[in-house]
Structure 1
Amino acid sequence: MSKIAKQKAARLFLSLWKLTGYRVKKIARFSEQHNLKSIAIISNTALGDFMFNTPAIGAIKNRWPDAKIVMVIQPRNLALVEKSPLIDNILYWDGKVGGMMKLVKALRKEQVEATFILHSRAPYDIVAASLAGSDYILKDVYYADYQGQDNFILESCLSAFYDNRKQGNIHLIRQEKRYVKFCRYYNAVRRHVYSGALQTSESYSPVVGIHAGASSLERCWPDRFYSQLIDMLLSRHADLTIELVGAPGEKALNQRIIEGMKMPSERVKNVAGTTNLIQLAEKISGFKTLVVGDTGPLHLAVAVQTPTVALFSDQNAIDGAAPVQDSAIHQVLSPADESDGVKGISSVEVCNAVERNLVCQDTALLR
């Protein structure tokens, strides 16, 4: 079944669901006197999406400090929220229809009054919130949700939604900030929020991290360019160590990069698959800089204030996902000719950007 067909089927089902007496309440904006006691927040897609959502999560908690916050996430993102003072309960759901009724049962038990959908798959997220009896359902509707239609098919099933098309291609954090204005909370922070306590390991030599993987091939800088970059950095710095991080499935990618070097070196380590999410954040926090594409670890680095060299395919990608905080420590690179994609960025450009970060940190230490 196509995505459009799924949305239309969900709309029909929810129109029939009204026979049970359920009606989602329409709202332009919550009033200052409107107190909610139980709130669900759904952010159950990729790591990077979740990091983008943390300012909005903080804003919702600030608006209703006494409300119970129920967070619906992917299990792999648990480490980022399990000790957070913002979250009272955590539920797991992958966004698929198979686990939807289990989520509905759990949300009913929590007596959720409002559901904020930040990143999740339509239509199952809206159906789940409706079946759970949520009085208010608010969704940040993205371009993909429209499926080429003039209007969002499930608009009538929402209390309110933020139409990203009205503002063009703006940064995801700014989109979330405008979205939470429905809460009548205007000071939503733009910073990524990271609530974990980091235990950064001591290193006697500077470490540059590399994360070469990404969710799609067009976001990946070529293996051979990473190999060239490492060769250049090692030749310039006798005490520098390179660590290639990543998920277990990226270990082979890192090994290809190492094998593509001119000369093997003990100062280059493939540590993919050796850390959980918290350990990865701790490791990244100890890097002098991280070379990374448009992917989750970039946003972890931004959250823990590690300098980065971020590789983007074009200006649209930069506008939507580049770091917006601590801009002085983040080098954002894109190709001169956007038709070349990320492979249009040379290894020399990236090496020079890494050098700028290293020099800036050395200068800061001397002050």
Structure 2
Amino acid sequence: MVNAIKKEAIKKEAISGPILAVLPKFIGDAINTLSAIELIRKLYPDNEIYLLARPYMVELFARDKFYNIKVITDERFGEAKLSVFSLAKKLKQHKFSMAVLFRGSLSEALLAKLAGIKTVIGYAQNGRKPLLSHPLNLNVNHHYLLRYCRLINETHGNCFEQFDTPKLTYQQVESAVSDNDKINIGLYLGGKNKGARHYPFKQAKQVIALLNEKYLPNLILIGDRSEQAENQKLFEYANSLNMTCTDLTGKTSLTDLVDHIAAFDLLISIDSGPMHMAAALQTPCVAIVGQGTSPWSLVVPKTPNVIAATAEHSLQLNDSFLVQDINPENIVQRSNALLQTSITFIDKAELTLPQPNKQ
């Protein structure tokens, strides 16, 4: 399969003005573009780089301290509900020299064209090849990080050999729990809104019981408002075990959620946005991986602080039942492997071992 459509490499000196990066719609995907954003910054250290982001992501990326970026709200999806033509008119005022389309829709290519951006990089999918100055063929077997980085590297003459993992900026928060002498374990198992990724309640109870037996931790439940009913049941079960438990479900903004995940000693999460946040924050994370929105090999975080608990020996014919075959003991065993090497666990266990900087 030919991966790249042959095109003359972009000359860096020709890109003298600001650069626009159009982010994907989901937070995990948007976080994964940061590896490619870093390549853009290395190529163009003096250019302004703007991210076009959905309204709910703006605050998160606007406080960035790693990539020297600015953020524009994609008002097509905000209260204003701008048309692609109206948004293009606003973008045109910035006089962008180049646009990188990390989202694969036709509307993003049309937006860049209407905004008068001459150099437009993206994958030649959804009929948008004629609107791109530098189209690439998508290799669906490539990891998402590589997909995004290829857009930069191959259009600039393959000047990079490697990329780095994404990094998120966070702020320190006051503890959400009352007992700071215990380890803090975050738990995100999704709700019915997550379909086949949702970890069943019966097994979730077993995970909580095993964690309580092994660590007596502070348990912090996270999720969005649609998941409050499921997490309320977990909260009540944790209380029945006399665990220290805090339910933050539906009570945090996106930035608050990131800040809390950064403070966890461990996060146990289904394959979803919080998992990618933990990876970018270097928070140890056990990922519960059944049937995902993409094959696990394409989205697995490329960082040692995330390990997966999978249904690798499942014989289920229905993919939606895979997550049910992930054993609670398996999850806790992987949690222990991460906690044994976590600095915060070492501190609270009062062991005298080297203490690497989490940052």
TM category (shorter chain) comes to 0.7 to 0.9
Quick check: 2:24–2:30 contact (8 Å CA) kept in 1? yes
Quick check: 1:213–1:293 contact (8 Å CA) kept in 2? yes
1:187-234 per-residue CA deviation (whole Å, 9 max, x = no partner) reads 56231122x342144532111101122763122221221111101111
Q: Provide the C-alpha distance between the structure 1 equivalents of 2:93 and 2:333, rounded to a whole number of angstroms.
A: 55
Residue equivalent to 2:172: 199
For residue 255 of structure 2, give the secondary structure of its aligned residue in structure 1.
helix
Shift of 1:260: 5.3
Quick check: 1:251–1:271 contact (8 Å CA) kept in 2? no
Equivalences for residues 31-42 of structure 1 within 5 A = 31-42=11-22
For residue 125 of structure 1, give the secondary structure of its aligned residue in structure 2.
helix
Quick check: 1:226–1:347 contact (8 Å CA) kept in 2? yes
1:97-133 per-residue CA deviation (whole Å, 9 max, x = no partner) reads 853223101111111222111125x111111111111
For residue 216 of structure 1, give the secondary structure of its aligned residue in structure 2.
helix
Are 2:334 and 1:357 aligned?
no
Shift of 1:264: 4.7
Task: Give the residue type in structure 2 aligned to 1:323.
Answer: P
Q: Provide the C-alpha distance between the structure 2 equivalents of 1:118 and 1:105, rounded to a whole number of angstroms.
A: 21
Residue equivalent to 1:341: 322
Residue equivalent to 1:86: 68
TM-score by length of 2: 0.82
Sequence identity (%)? 20
Equivalences for residues 132-171 of structure 1 within 5 A = 132-140=115-123, 145=125, 152-165=126-139, 168-171=140-143
**How many residues of Structure 1 are paired with residues of Structure 2 in the alignment?**
326
- Unaligned 5+ runs, structure 2: 1-5, 354-359
For residue 102 of structure 1, give the secondary structure of its aligned residue in structure 2.
helix
Shift of 1:363: 5.2
Q: Is the deviation greater in 33-42 or in 127-136?
A: 33-42
Q: Provide the C-alpha distance between the structure 2 equivalents of 1:187 and 1:313, rounded to a whole number of angstroms.
A: 32
Are 2:43 and 1:63 aligned?
yes
Are 2:269 and 1:292 aligned?
yes
Residue equivalent to 1:101: 85
Shift of 1:296: 0.7
Residue equivalent to 1:73: 53
Residue equivalent to 2:97: 113
Equivalent of 1:222 in 162, 183, 200: 200
1:82-107 per-residue CA deviation (whole Å, 9 max, x = no partner) reads 13352245232456985322310111
Quick check: 1:190–1:324 contact (8 Å CA) kept in 2? no
Cα pair distance change 1:314/1:62, threshold 3 Å: same
Q: Provide the C-alpha distance between the structure 1 equivalents of 2:135 and 2:322, rounded to a whole number of angstroms.
A: 33
More helix by percentage: 1
Quick check: 2:212–2:243 contact (8 Å CA) kept in 1? no
Quick check: 2:219–2:243 contact (8 Å CA) kept in 1? no
For residue 86 of structure 1, give the secondary structure of its aligned residue in structure 2.
coil
Equivalent of 1:366 in 344, 352, 355: 352
Q: Provide the C-alpha distance between the structure 1 equivalents of 2:33 and 2:274, rounded to a whole number of angstroms.
A: 15
Cα pair distance change 1:260/1:206, threshold 3 Å: closer
Equivalences for residues 313-332 of structure 1 within 5 A = 313=290, 317-325=295-303, 327=304, 329-332=305-308
Cα pair distance change 1:342/1:29, threshold 3 Å: farther
Cα pair distance change 1:366/1:28, threshold 3 Å: farther
Cα pair distance change 1:338/1:302, threshold 3 Å: farther
Q: Provide the C-alpha distance between the structure 2 equivalents of 1:234 and 1:78, rounded to a whole number of angstroms.
A: 37
Quick check: 2:291–2:322 contact (8 Å CA) kept in 1? yes
For residue 110 of structure 1, give the secondary structure of its aligned residue in structure 2.
coil
Residue equivalent to 2:356: none
- Unaligned 5+ runs, structure 1: 1-25, 146-151
Residue equivalent to 1:9: none
Cα pair distance change 1:88/1:347, threshold 3 Å: closer
Cα pair distance change 1:61/1:127, threshold 3 Å: same
Cα pair distance change 1:89/1:330, threshold 3 Å: closer
Task: Give the residue type in structure 1 aligned to 2:68.
Answer: L
Q: Provide the C-alpha distance between the structure 2 equivalents of 1:262 and 1:270, rounded to a whole number of angstroms.
A: 11
Task: Give the residue type in structure 1 aligned to 2:69.
Answer: I
For residue 73 of structure 2, give the secondary structure of its aligned residue in structure 1.
strand
Q: Is the deviation greater in 334-343 or in 172-181?
A: 334-343
Q: Provide the C-alpha distance between the structure 2 equivalents of 1:356 and 1:124, rounded to a whole number of angstroms.
A: 45
For residue 290 of structure 1, give the secondary structure of its aligned residue in structure 2.
strand
Residue equivalent to 1:131: 114
Task: Give the residue type in structure 1 aligned to 2:26.
Answer: A
For residue 116 of structure 1, give the secondary structure of its aligned residue in structure 2.
strand
Shift of 1:334: 1.3
Are 2:233 and 1:256 aligned?
yes
